[in-house]
Structure 1
Amino acid sequence: MKTSLKRLTLLALPAALLVGATASAQAQEWAPTKSIEFVAPANPGGGWDTLVRTVSRVLQEEGLAERNFAAINVPGGGGAVAWAQIARDNGNPHKLFATSPPIILVPLSGASRYDHTDFTPIARLITDYSIILVSADSEYETLNDLFDALKENPNLSVGGGSAPGSMDHISMAGAAAAAGLEAASVNYVPFSGGGDAMTNLMGGHIEAVITGAGESVGQLGEGSQLRALGVSAPERLGGGLEDVPTYQEQGIDYTFDIWRGVMGTPDMPAEAVAYYEDLFAEMLETDGWQRARDQLGWIDAYQDSEAFGDFLDAQQEQFSSVLGDLGLLRQ
């Protein structure tokens, strides 16, 4: 979970070079014949939804896709409801979905019968970081203020847009442990997405929210009802988050990166996989994508299908250990 910007850059460069002549030739053997259903497995406003809508818009504006990418929200179960639907659509080359660490974490905790091995890896696109938010009138001015309060009163709650034992929960538990709390003592409240969690924060139902830094950018700034206490990046981010200190700046030695990518239906044809690999690699080179990426505070971290699949296997092994420590690993 501690990944430096330098290492991410090194990962991205050789992976992008793998999309060469062979992949291009394969991609030419297949092209979509109808609109592509691009599923965000959550309500509007969260990280998956932001990725789906940003990718769909850039592909259209840059004229890269031969068919329209239709954004579809399928919320529920921290992604499990959407995964169950997609798993039944075996071999469909016209359906994709946004993915991130919950595709590993939710099944490991027993909340989904489907995991990453049931689907087709297409490409990892970017990485993001966690951010902890409180209401603008909160008494907590720093991360340590919040963690001190959580230590004194374990009933205080922190919300997130993913299921128990999933991405936001793991990120918050790790930060709390680094701050001197028992990781399992954090009273984490799951919501159906980051947008829903922030609504409950502004309504005074929870003390704080942990979510993706990229999806919070539009909620912050002058006149905002929210205030950011810290980001899990190894150094400060751009894109409107320059004033938000890192955890490490506040004496909490912890980082957590939130990768995001695209997967397809089970047993998607290799020709379709090659087409999408090529498409997304080309998209990352466009001015439109780079503007959107910078505005959202994302960092390019491309991997093709094979490299992404290997990365997912490694993530499963890593997160199995973390969930075991929290007592959340499915037995």
Structure 2
Amino acid sequence: MTAKQHLTRFSAIVLPLAAVVGMSSAAQADEWTPTRNIEFIAPANPGGGWDTLVRTTSRVIQEEGLAERSFGAINVPGGGGAVAWAQIARDSGNPHKLFATSPPIILVPLAGASRYDHTSFTPIARLITDYSIVLVRNDSPYEDLPSLIEAMEQNPQLSVGGGSAPGSMDHISMAGLAAAAGLNASDVNYIPFSGGGEAMTSLMGGHVEAVITGAGEASGQLGENSQIRALGVSAPERLGGALAEVPTYQEQDIDYTFDIWRGVMGTPDMPAEAVAYYEDLFAQMLETDGWQQAREQLGWIDAYQDSEEFGAFLDEQKEQFSTILGDLGLLGE
């Protein structure tokens, strides 16, 4: 199977939110509650997808009164997540530390840029599916994706920024888009930044021609008076809210979708009773009105999995990403 075929296999895997948490999990959750505030880590600078997930979930949990202790957002940027993972890995068994996660927890280690991968930590829950979005400045000559792709073909030095490390999520997403449009995926001039917020700042400053990032984190910066425009989103159909007018890749004759699942993980060897508590907490959160409003605004789709399901899903993702990175020549030693 070709790199293009592997890359185009990313389609939304959206699981229904469990309406009822199992009795055994609920019983375990009753046995443990936090005794101090929770450190909720976004392994990147403010403004990116991890940061958006951490701050949104923390706010909803507080506003809905779901937990007696607060969830404090902490940004630990560097290495596409590797700096934060190294710190968290040293805090084995701590039930008061969580972090936001997404495909880089698999991609960065596979590319050889981190000694820690998803198996080093405790899966808590997968929460949502997000999508990639391609952005340009308002004064950009590119009006749609085909015009940007044509320019990339004519000028291989045309720079596309992203908020993840080389070989990680935004890079792979852009490489897949290029391959689906008929370009050589390995020829994309991808410029990495420490989070989607920094990538968009660089775009507005004229340092890159385009940016690929999470649709949810970009939604708040799009609108009538925005300095940026969206050329396309990697979803199978148009999203809602602020992204309702953004066409999909497929609408522009590029047969490609890319899902950005996002979830929560904990420290290595987190106690089972703490895992049960957080599983139950996040399952409750996804059913609140506050969460539904935030989700619609950000263009997210609920995709809940409990700890066991999420762990199995991560193992499957590693197999898929290993093949893709190998096809692109980006698999680390």
Q: TM-score, normalised by structure 1?
A: 0.97
- Conserved? CA contact 1:34–1:67, under 8 Å: yes
Cα deviations across residues 109-156 of structure 1 (Å, max 9, x unaligned)?
A: 000000000000000000000000000000000101001000011011
- Conserved? CA contact 2:11–2:259, under 8 Å: no
Distance 1:19 1:176 in 2: 42
Distance 2:93 2:285 in 1: 24
- Conserved? CA contact 1:2–1:257, under 8 Å: no
Q: Residue in 2 aligned with 1:85?
A: 87
Mapping for residues 98-247 of structure 1, pairs under 5 Å: 98-247=100-249
Cα deviations across residues 21-55 of structure 1 (Å, max 9, x unaligned)?
A: 11000000100000000000000000000000000
- Conserved? CA contact 2:11–2:258, under 8 Å: no
1:12 aligned to 16, 36, 56, which one? 16
Larger mean CA deviation between 100-109 and 17-26 belongs to 17-26
Q: Residue in 1 aligned with 2:56?
A: 54
- For residue 271 of structure 1, report the CA deviation from its aligned partner: 0.2
Structure 1 segments, 4+ long, off by >6 Å, are none
Secondary structure of the residue that 2:36 maps to in structure 1?
Answer: coil
Secondary structure of the residue that 1:129 maps to in structure 2?
Answer: strand
- Conserved? CA contact 2:98–2:266, under 8 Å: yes
Secondary structure of the residue that 1:31 maps to in structure 2?
Answer: coil
Secondary structure of the residue that 2:133 maps to in structure 1?
Answer: strand
Q: Residue in 1 aligned with 2:4?
A: none
Secondary structure of the residue that 2:241 maps to in structure 1?
Answer: coil
Distance 2:242 2:204 in 1: 21
Q: Residue in 2 aligned with 1:250?
A: 252
Secondary structure of the residue that 1:12 maps to in structure 2?
Answer: coil
- For residue 178 of structure 1, report the CA deviation from its aligned partner: 0.3
Mapping for residues 281-300 of structure 1, pairs under 5 Å: 281-300=283-302
- For residue 19 of structure 1, report the CA deviation from its aligned partner: 2.6
Distance 1:107 1:18 in 2: 35
Can you give the 5+ residue segments of structure 1 that lack an aligned partner in the other structure? none
Secondary structure of the residue that 2:242 maps to in structure 1?
Answer: coil
Secondary structure of the residue that 2:40 maps to in structure 1?
Answer: strand
| One-letter amino acid of the counterpart of residue 152, structure 1 | Q
Q: Residue in 2 aligned with 1:319?
A: 321
- Conserved? CA contact 1:160–1:168, under 8 Å: yes
Distance 1:66 1:107 in 2: 36
Could you say if the C-alpha distance between residues 111 and 247 of structure 1 is closer, same or farther in structure 2, counting changes exceeding 3 Å? same
Cα deviations across residues 278-305 of structure 1 (Å, max 9, x unaligned)?
A: 0000000000010011011100000000
- Conserved? CA contact 1:99–1:263, under 8 Å: yes
- Conserved? CA contact 2:162–2:192, under 8 Å: yes
- For residue 4 of structure 1, report the CA deviation from its aligned partner: 4.9
Distance 1:137 1:241 in 2: 20
Cα deviations across residues 188-233 of structure 1 (Å, max 9, x unaligned)?
A: 0000010100111111111100000000011110011000000000
2:304 aligned to 302, 305, 311, which one? 302
Distance 2:87 2:274 in 1: 20
- Conserved? CA contact 1:40–1:73, under 8 Å: yes
Q: TM-score, normalised by structure 2?
A: 0.96
Distance 1:216 1:117 in 2: 30
> What CA RMSD, in Å, does the superposition of the two structures yield over aligned residues?
1.0
Distance 1:100 1:68 in 2: 23
Cα deviations across residues 59-103 of structure 1 (Å, max 9, x unaligned)?
A: 000000120100000000000000000000000000000000000
- For residue 18 of structure 1, report the CA deviation from its aligned partner: 7.0
- For residue 17 of structure 1, report the CA deviation from its aligned partner: 5.3
| One-letter amino acid of the counterpart of residue 288, structure 1 | G
1:272 aligned to 274, 279, 283, which one? 274
- For residue 12 of structure 1, report the CA deviation from its aligned partner: 2.7
- For residue 240 of structure 1, report the CA deviation from its aligned partner: 1.0
Secondary structure of the residue that 2:268 maps to in structure 1?
Answer: coil
